[in-house]
């Protein structure tokens, strides 16, 4: 089997447009047990990869290296949100924010980032799904105030002033203000 250095793998991840070449480098990185998130960011940002290929690589990494799965899922969500800003891809972003929240349920990052990914014009991911996701996660996160603030904002978008006011008050209780 072909052997590559970490730097050579990184270069392939960043620059190759040949799926087989990228896949070979990926297999070598797995065999070498490289669990460097920075290396795999290069892979995820490779514009020649399709959505399905990113999912293939990301899911495999999460299984092989559970210790970095949170970061992998966050990066996958960011890639889907940024590079593939179409309907299905915003849903993919939401899926990976949810997976990240399962890996680290006390980390507020997925709950913040998913709100930034919301497309109000298309209602993608659906506002009700976002609200449910935040409500289910808020009790587990360490920084509840920012999640409550996001819930208030989502209810404001929905036109539910009562719930928006309620969650704004909760955000204030936890030290989050409108400043």
User: Per CATH, is 50-173 categorized as 3.40.950.10?
Assistant: no
Instruction: Identify which of 160, 168, 99 has the alpha carbon closest to the alpha carbon of residue 128.
Output: 160
Q: For all residues of the chain together, what is the average pLDDT?
A: 93
pLDDT at position 1 over 70 = no
Q: What does the pLDDT read at residue 84?
A: 58
Interval 12-41: pLDDT, tens? 999 999 999 999 999 999 999 999 999 999
Which whole-number Å values give the CA distances from 132 to 15, 78, 129, 149, in the listed order?
A: 40, 21, 5, 14
**pTM of the predicted model as reported, rounded to 2 decimal places:** 0.91
Instruction: Identify which of 47, 49, 37 has the alpha carbon closest to the alpha carbon of residue 74.
Output: 37
| Least confident window among 12-21, 118-127, 167-176 | 118-127
> Sorting pLDDT into bands at 50, 70 and 90, what band is 108?
very high
User: Percent of the chain, pLDDT > 90?
Assistant: 83
Where exactly are the structural domains of the chain? 1-49, 50-173
């Amino acid at each position: 089997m072909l052997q590559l250095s970490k730097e050579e793998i990184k270069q392939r991840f960043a620059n190759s447009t040949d799926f087989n070449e990228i896949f070979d480098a990926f297999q070598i990185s797995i065999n070498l047990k490289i669990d460097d998130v920075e290396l795999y960011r290069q892979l995820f940002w490779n514009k020649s990869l399709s959505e399905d290929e990113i999912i293939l690589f990301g899911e495999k990494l999460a299984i092989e290296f559970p210790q970095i799965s949170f970061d992998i899922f966050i990066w996958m969500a960011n890639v889907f949100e940024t590079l593939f800003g179409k309907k299905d891809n915003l849903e993919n972003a939401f899926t990976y924010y949810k997976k990240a929240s399962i890996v680290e349920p006390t980390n507020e990052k997925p709950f913040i980032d998913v709100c930034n990914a919301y497309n109000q014009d298309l209602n993608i991911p659906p506002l009700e799904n976002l609200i449910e996701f935040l409500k289910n996660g808020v009790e587990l996160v360490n920084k509840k105030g920012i999640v409550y603030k996001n819930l208030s904002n989502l209810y404001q978008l929905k036109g539910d002033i009562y719930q928006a006011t309620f969650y704004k008050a909760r955000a204030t209780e936890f030290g989050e203000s409108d400043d």
